[in-house]
Structure 1
Amino acid sequence: MELEENLIEIISLSGEVKKKFLKAVKHAKNNEPEEAEDVFNEADDQLIKAHLKQTELINKEAGGEKLESSLLLTHAQDHLMTAILLKDMAKEFMDLYQRLEE
C-alpha cells in the first residue's frame, strides 16, 4: 500500500505543479513578473517534493526491493515528466514575456 500512496502523492503534486507553472506564465503574460516568479518558485518547491518521492522509490528498487510495474506507476512517471518539461517551458515563456515588456 505504501507504493500506491507514494505514486498518488507524485501524481497529486505533479498535477498541482503543472497548474502553478501555467499560472506563472499567465502572470508573466499579464506583465506581472513578481507574481510570476513567486508562483514559479512555489511550483518548483513542490516539484522537488515530487521528484524526491520518485528518487525514494528508485533507491528502494536499486537496493533490491522489487517494485511492481503498474498503470499507476506509469501514470505517476508521466505526470512527473510532464511537470518537469512544463517547468522548462514556463521559464522560457516567462523570459520571452519579460523581453517583450522591455
Structure 2
Amino acid sequence: MNMEEILFSIIVNAGEARGNAYEALKIAQKGEYNSAKEKLKEAEGGIGVAHGAQTDLIQKEINGEDIDMSLLSVHAQDHLMTTIAEKSLIEHMIGLYKRIEELEKRMEG
C-alpha cells in the first residue's frame, strides 16, 4: 500500500469504529447490553485494523523510509486517537447505564 492508501485505511476504519461505538451507546440506552457489547466488538475490530495500518507506518519510518508528514497524516492520527478515546468513554457510559438500571430496579422492588 502506498502512503495515501494507508492513511485512508486509518481514517475509514477509525470512522467505522467510531460509528459502531456510538451505535453501541444508542443500543445500550434501550437496555440491550448484549447487542451493545457486540457493537463494541465491531468497533474494536475497526480500531485494530486502523492501528495496524498506523503500526505499518511507524515500522516504515523506523526502517529508514521517508514518511511525509502531511495534513492528511495528522488527520488520520487524530481520527484514530479520538476514536480510541471515545470508545473508552462510551464503554464507561454503558457501564453507568447498567448501574442506573440496576438501581432503578432495586428502587421499584
Where on the TM-score scale, by shorter chain, does this alignment land: which range? over 0.9
* Amino acid in structure 2 at the alignment position of 1:10: I
Q: Which residue of 2 aligns with 1:18?
A: 18
* C-alpha RMSD over aligned residues: 1.0
Q: Tell which structure's C-alpha radius of gyration is larger.
A: 2
Matches within 5 A, 1:19-38: 19-38=19-38
Q: Which has the higher contact order (CA 8 A, sep 6+)?
A: 1
SS in 1 for 2:64: coil
User: Following TM superposition, by how much is the alpha carbon of 1:38 offset from its aligned partner in structure 2, in angstroms?
Assistant: 0.5
Residue 52 (structure 1) aligns with: 52
TM-score (norm 1): 0.96
Gaps of 5+ in 2: 103-109
Q: 2:73 aligned with 1:73, yes or no?
A: yes
4+ runs deviating over 4 angstroms: none
> How many residues of Structure 1 are paired with residues of Structure 2 in the alignment?
102
**Percent of matched pairs sharing the same residue:** 42
Give the structure 1 partner of residue 40 of structure 2: 40
In 2, distance between residues paired with 1:6 and 1:18? 18
Amino acid at match of 2:7: L
How far is the alpha carbon of 1:46 from its aligned partner? 1.2
- Report deviation, 1:44: 0.4
Match of 2:106 in 1: none
Gaps of 5+ in 1: none
Q: Which residue is 1:4 aligned to?
A: 4
